[in-house]
């Protein structure tokens, strides 16, 4: 029978025969962080024998707390009684450097136990990233039950960054981070992407969660009690003869069968997201001693379709793992059915089950060499900036003072380093020579001493060294080196650096003011340079209350140049507001500041060129201003022409001259003069001068209606001016969505998605601001609309049969989300 199984050629499911690897040295490669314990402390857990350490070597921010005593029961592990919260900064990251490094497969687990540590009783939500990639949202739904996140991941870098991102729905926190190395032949389906744990269950027991030492990889196996099933168990050892997953013997020694032997064994579950694609690992072992006339044989079905090509018989006290080699077809619900075969005298059996959702984490991380160097620089110079996570990725969280090249398809390289005014002392660290792709290095306004190190001549791409842009008072010792171009040869660079080296004791104060100074460290351009880059303002690409926007080039890079006209209704105040906002707020869906001009009456802002003009498809830039910035920022002029599209049709929010920041986080409104565009302007703001975040939400609702209908924001009929929200409301009375949606779509859309989008837009334009959703809620609702539309275009799911009523939810272990 074994030979027959081993010789099968399976079209979809497989198992392999391997010898179980020798037991690894205890804790080799384990990283175990108990967040919230005293800095520098460590202890050995009395249940598992695993050593846990504080987070001191992994992160330099956060506040430590204990859960309230009422939630500290005997069933709660020691690691869940403490936590670290992050009320400061949008993103906070733990950085781990496993001993085995890139190319190896790891289990990464984060655990979150709220326990009302802050006495607020407000259950938070926040995002978790692995490196630059979004993993999932932590949704705490109970003060007394932890939330687990676990992923099987092959490292593309020597570093692992576990990041918590504040989305405006509560303060992020974390209790435990655990990293466990896995064998090279385990979970090889990670070739498709990372495997995000949905559930890992141990059938046939309700005793406790099995983990290390029962499982040498310290996986958590949750006990579960399914209705209409009977538990089996054995005290004998179960051998791992036909599996590369190695479920522990303690887990395999229990199992379930149907309570009524003639019935099938049905296990069903619902995905958390409509686009989830599952990998399924079924673990079987015969743990009963069968008599000569007994046989256990059954068929395996998934959603009514045969998953295993022939009848299956588990082996006596030996584990067989059956798993799909490709992710399951997307379906709204899943039912795994084990049916007794005609020849079988015994009902089907199953011992354990693992369900994983395929997660593709596609973003490229910073080159390991550059990452190691910049971490060393942070340590050597004791830099106090908020440098956490991957230095270059994602782009909206690039480290302050760093610039990176995003052209390499393998890794990101650091090309710009600004450490000016960072309190640096001593000589220049030779490790800087290893940032080989760097073209700009600014070490001005520090207390550096000594001579120019020879290693700088090896930076063949260096164009600017110690940039000397004046931004006001500069006192104290300073090293000054002029611009050095990379086109010079190695010897010219070396000679120039050594010849021009000057140690300046004090820099004279620049008392001559030209217009209003902007105290920012972005590139300043003169008016004559603006004339050159725009070819004397020859190509106009936009117009607005600020002035005229011109097309230009800086080298080979296209830019947009917005010049303040003397007749502009907006003035110097708005000019500075936009420049400051673009400097301090960074997000992939907000236009990026390239430079500025501030010379007498000539004031302009240079920002990235958006090749596809304006229109709106993605909304995350606005959500970031409201919920990702501290304090929140209200744009005040959301409209289609202020949402620009680059060459890849990525939408970015633009024109921040009217933006306002709330003075306090708990402020509900500010009183300010009305500003905005007719048709998009919040009527409540217009009549009361009370500006809130919901004012932007109203404007965005109008944008949504314009996109959905293809109609302008305001339409004139005879002498009557009709707002688009009124027009849609009249159409909704007839209940015919086809008369609302843009006719150019020719009916090719998901009707449920359209209804949801229209209802969301109408909620945004509700007359009463309190009835409008937040931008967080808008983003989530629109994401659901997108999922519906994509699902419509996906291959139609297979018909479902044999769907039972059993649920995979366990009452003994928390849901992974």
Provide the 3-class DSSP secondary structure of residue 102: coil
Res. 668: pLDDT tops 60? no
For the ranges 135-144, 455-464, 523-532, which has the lowest average pLDDT?
455-464
Interval 571-627: pLDDT, tens? 565 666 556 555 545 545 556 678 888 888 888 888 877 655 444 333 336 343 444
Highest mean pLDDT, choosing among 58-67, 181-190, 589-598, 650-659: 58-67
166 lies in the same domain as 254: no
The structure tokens 């449920």 sit at 752
- Token pair of 383 as six digits: 């830099």
Quick check: is 149 in a domain? Answer: yes
| Binding-site residue set for ATP | 562
Quick check: is 332 in a domain? Answer: yes
What confidence score (pLDDT) does residue 317 get?
95
How remote is the C-alpha of 438 from its chain's centroid?
A: 27
Distance in angstroms (rounded) separating the CA atoms of residues 301 and 176: 38
130 lies in the same domain as 7: no
353 lies in the same domain as 207: yes
Task: Please give the backbone phi and psi of residue 664, each rounded to the nearest 5 degrees, phi first.
Answer: -135, 155
What confidence score (pLDDT) does residue 519 get?
37
12 lies in the same domain as 46: no
Distance in angstroms (rounded) separating the CA atoms of residues 109 and 563: 51
322 lies in the same domain as 376: no
**Could you check whether the bond before residue 394 is cis, i.e. omega within 30 degrees of 0?**
yes
Radius of gyration of the chain (CA): 31
Interval 102-121: pLDDT, tens? 999 999 999 999 999 999 99
Q: Are 655 and 649 in contact (CB under 8 A)?
A: no
- The residue-averaged pLDDT of 429-450 equals 87
How remote is the C-alpha of 565 from its chain's centroid?
A: 40
Question: Of 271, 160, 284, nearest to 232 (Cα)?
Answer: 284
Q: Are 232 and 259 in contact (CB under 8 A)?
A: no
Quick check: is 435 in a domain? Answer: yes
Stated length of the chain: 817
Interval 26-52: pLDDT, tens? 467 999 999 999 999 999 999 999 999
* Half-sphere CA count of 380, side-chain side, radius 13 A: 16
pLDDT band at 456 (very low <50, low <70, confident <90, very high): confident
106 lies in the same domain as 231: no
- The residue-averaged pLDDT of 701-720 equals 81
Those residues whose C-beta lies under 8 Å from the C-beta of residue 75, and which sit 6 or more positions away, are none
120 lies in the same domain as 222: no
Provide the 3-class DSSP secondary structure of residue 441: strand
- For the purposes of burial, counting CB atoms within 10 Å of the CB of 38, is it exposed (0-12), middle (13-18) or buried (19 or more)? exposed
Q: For position 471, which CATH number holds? A: 3.80.10.10
Active-site positions read: 637
372 lies in the same domain as 290: no
What confidence score (pLDDT) does residue 91 get?
96
| Binding-site residue set | 562
Structural domain total, the chain: 3
- Token pair of 370 as six digits: 């550059």
Q: Which residues pair with 199 in a beta bridge?
A: 355
What confidence score (pLDDT) does residue 570 get?
53
345 lies in the same domain as 478: no
Distance in angstroms (rounded) separating the CA atoms of residues 402 and 420: 12
148 lies in the same domain as 235: no
The percent of residues in the chain predicted with pLDDT above 90, rounded, is 44
pLDDT band at 494 (very low <50, low <70, confident <90, very high): very low
Quick check: is 802 in a domain? Answer: no
Question: Of 714, 809, 816, 815, nearest to 268 (Cα)?
Answer: 809
Among 359, 390, 421, residue at a domain's last position? 359
- The residue-averaged pLDDT of 659-680 equals 52
Quick check: is 446 in a domain? Answer: yes
What confidence score (pLDDT) does residue 592 get?
67
- If one compares 679 and 397, the residue with the highest pLDDT of the two is 397
Among 120, 149, 182, residue at a domain's last position? 182
The structure tokens 């997000």 sit at 587
The whole-chain average pLDDT of the chain stands at 78
Question: Of 524, 665, 534, 516, nearest to 577 (Cα)?
Answer: 516
Q: For position 160, which CATH number holds? A: 2.60.120.260
354 lies in the same domain as 380: no
Among 450, 477, 502, residue at a domain's last position? 502
Cα torsion through 394, 400, 403, 407, rounded to 10: 0
Quick check: is 751 in a domain? Answer: no
Distance in angstroms (rounded) separating the CA atoms of residues 158 and 366: 10
Quick check: is 709 in a domain? Answer: no
- The residue-averaged pLDDT of 169-173 equals 96
Res. 419: pLDDT tops 80? yes
Interval 67-78: pLDDT, tens? 999 999 877 899
Quick check: is 732 in a domain? Answer: no
What confidence score (pLDDT) does residue 503 get?
29
232 lies in the same domain as 336: yes
What confidence score (pLDDT) does residue 812 get?
32
Q: For position 245, which CATH number holds? A: 2.60.120
Q: Which domain holds residue 264?
A: 2-17+202-359
What confidence score (pLDDT) does residue 466 get?
66
For the ranges 353-367, 526-540, 657-671, 688-702, which has the lowest average pLDDT?
657-671
Provide the 3-class DSSP secondary structure of residue 769: helix
């Amino acid at each position: 029978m074994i030979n027959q199984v081993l010789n099968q050629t399976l079209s979809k499911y497989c198992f392999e025969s391997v010898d179980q690897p020798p037991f690894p040295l205890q804790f080799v490669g384990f990283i175990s962080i108990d967040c919230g314990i005293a800095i520098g402390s460590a202890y050995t857990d009395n249940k598992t024998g695993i050593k846990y350490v504080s987070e001191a070597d992994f992160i330099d921010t956060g506040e430590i707390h204990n859960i309230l005593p009422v939630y500290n029961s005997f069933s709660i592990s020691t690691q869940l009684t403490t936590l670290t919260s992050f009320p400061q900064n949008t993103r906070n990251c733990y950085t781990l450097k496993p001993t085995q490094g890139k190319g190896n497969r790891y289990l990464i687990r984060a655990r979150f136990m709220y326990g009302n540590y802050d006495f607020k009783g407000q259950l938070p939500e926040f995002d978790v990233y692995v490196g630059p990639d979004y993993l999932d949202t932590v949704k705490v739904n109970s003060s007394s039950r932890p939330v687990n996140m676990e992923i099987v991941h092959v490292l593309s870098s020597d570093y692992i960054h576990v990041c918590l991102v504040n989305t405006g729905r509560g303060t992020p926190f974390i209790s435990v981070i655990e990293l466990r190395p896995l064998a090279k032949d385990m979970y090889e389906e990670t070739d498709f992407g990372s495997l995000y744990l949905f559930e890992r269950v141990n059938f046939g027991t309700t005793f406790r969660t099995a983990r290390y030492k029962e499982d040498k990889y310290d996986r958590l196996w949750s006990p579960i009690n399914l209705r209409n099933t009977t538990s089996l168990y054995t005290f004998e050892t179960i051998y791992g003869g036909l599996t590369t997953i190695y479920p522990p013997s303690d887990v395999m020694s229990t199992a379930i069968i149907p309570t009524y032997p003639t019935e099938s064994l049905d296990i069903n579950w619902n995905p958390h997201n409509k686009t989830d694609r599952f990998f399924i690992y079924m673990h079987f072992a015969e743990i009963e001693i069968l008599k000569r006339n007994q046989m256990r044989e059954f068929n395996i079905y998934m959603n009514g379709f045969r998953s295993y090509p022939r009848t299956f018989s588990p082996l006596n006290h030996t584990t067989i793992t059956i798993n799909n080699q490709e992710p399951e077809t997307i379906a709204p619900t899943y039912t795994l059915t084990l049916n007794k075969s005609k020849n079988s005298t015994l009902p089907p059996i199953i011992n354990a089950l693992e369900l994983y959702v395929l997660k593709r984490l596609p973003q490229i991380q910073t080159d390991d060499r550059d990452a190691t160097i910049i971490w060393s620089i942070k340590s050597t110079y004791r830099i106090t900036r908020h440098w956490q996570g991957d230095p270059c990725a994602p782009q909206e969280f690039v480290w302050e003072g760093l610039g990176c090249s995003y052209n390499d398809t393998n890794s990101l390289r650091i090309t710009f380093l600004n450490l000016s005014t960072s309190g640096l002392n001593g000589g220049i660290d030779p490790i800087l020579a290893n940032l080989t792709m760097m073209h700009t290095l600014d070490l001005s306004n520090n207390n550096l001493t000594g001579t120019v190190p020879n290693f700088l001549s090896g930076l063949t791409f260096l164009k600017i060294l110690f940039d000397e842009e004046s931004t006001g008072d500069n006192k104290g010792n300073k090293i000054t080196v002029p611009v050095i171009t990379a086109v010079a040869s190695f010897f010219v660079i070396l000679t120039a650096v050594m010849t021009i080296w000057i140690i300046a004791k004090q820099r004279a104060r620049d008392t001559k003011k030209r217009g209003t100074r902007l105290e920012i460290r972005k590139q300043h351009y003169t008016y004559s340079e603006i004339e050159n880059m725009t070819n004397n303002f020859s190509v106009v690409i936009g117009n607005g209350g600020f002035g005229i926007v011109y097309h230009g080039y800086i080298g080979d890079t296209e830019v947009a140049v917005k010049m303040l006209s003397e007749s502009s209704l907006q003035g110097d105040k708005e000019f500075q507001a936009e420049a400051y906002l673009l400097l301090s707020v960074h997000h992939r869906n907000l236009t990026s500041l390239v430079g500025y001009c501030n010379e007498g009456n000539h004031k302009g802002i240079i920002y990235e060129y958006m090749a596809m003009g304006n229109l709106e498809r993605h909304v995350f830039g606005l959500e970031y201003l409201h919920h990702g910035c501290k304090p929140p920022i209200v744009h005040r002029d959301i409209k289609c022409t202020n949402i620009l599209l680059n060459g890849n049709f990525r939408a970015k929010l633009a024109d921040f001259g009217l933006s306002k920041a709330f003075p306090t986080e708990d402020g509900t409104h500010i009183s300010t003069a009305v500003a905005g565009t007719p048709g998009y302007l919040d009527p409540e703001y217009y009549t009361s001068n009370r500006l809130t975040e919901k004012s932007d939400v109203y404007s965005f609702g109008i944008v949504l209606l314009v996109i959905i209908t293809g109609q302008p924001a305001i339409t004139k009929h005879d002498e009557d001016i009709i707002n688009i929200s009124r027009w849609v409301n009249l159409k909704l009375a007839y209940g015919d969505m086809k008369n609302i949606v843009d006719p150019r779509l020719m009916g090719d859309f998901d009707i449920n998605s359209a209804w949801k989008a229209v209802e969301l837009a109408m909620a945004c334009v509700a007359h009463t601001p309190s009835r409008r959703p937040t931008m967080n809620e808008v983003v989530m609702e629109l994401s659901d609309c997108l999922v519906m539309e994509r699902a419509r275009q996906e291959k139609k799911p297979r018909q479902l049969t044999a769907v039972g009523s059993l649920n995979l939810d366990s009452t003994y272990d928390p849901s992974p989300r």
